[in-house]
Amino acid sequence: MVTQNNKQLITLCSTICRSENQISAAIDDELVLMSVEKGNYYGLDAIGTDIWQRLEGPVMVADLCTALGKDYVADAETIRRDVLALLERLMAEGLIEIKS
């Protein structure tokens, strides 16, 4: 497990999944998530929704990035950077967690 300032960091080797402390619903063309603990709502666009759907079960971040690279036109580094940024935000809000 990689940590910084006693905080778990998501890496390509991390296995992540949705937190049990969230609910989600599709509204029009986006997905709305709610953190049960914080009571905050978050909206995901089409690509964010695709990533969220792929987190239904535990998945290794590297495998997630590889799968997205097959479905979207972007270089691997851009996909890794954008996916890690989204996952860090989702984890900070308690919507996903790292499985050990």
Across 79-85, average pLDDT: 97
Domain range for 9: 3-18+48-99
> Does residue 90 sit within a domain?
yes
Q: Residue 92: CB partners within 8 Å, gap ≥ 6? A: none
User: Does the pLDDT at position 4 exceed 60?
Assistant: no
Between the alpha carbon of residue 26 and those of residues 35, 48, 50, the distances in Å are 15, 12, 12
Q: Into how many domains does the chain fold? A: 1
Q: Residue 38: CB partners within 8 Å, gap ≥ 6? A: 93, 94
Across 72-79, average pLDDT: 95
The pTM is what?
0.88
pLDDT at 5: 59
> Does residue 24 sit within a domain?
no
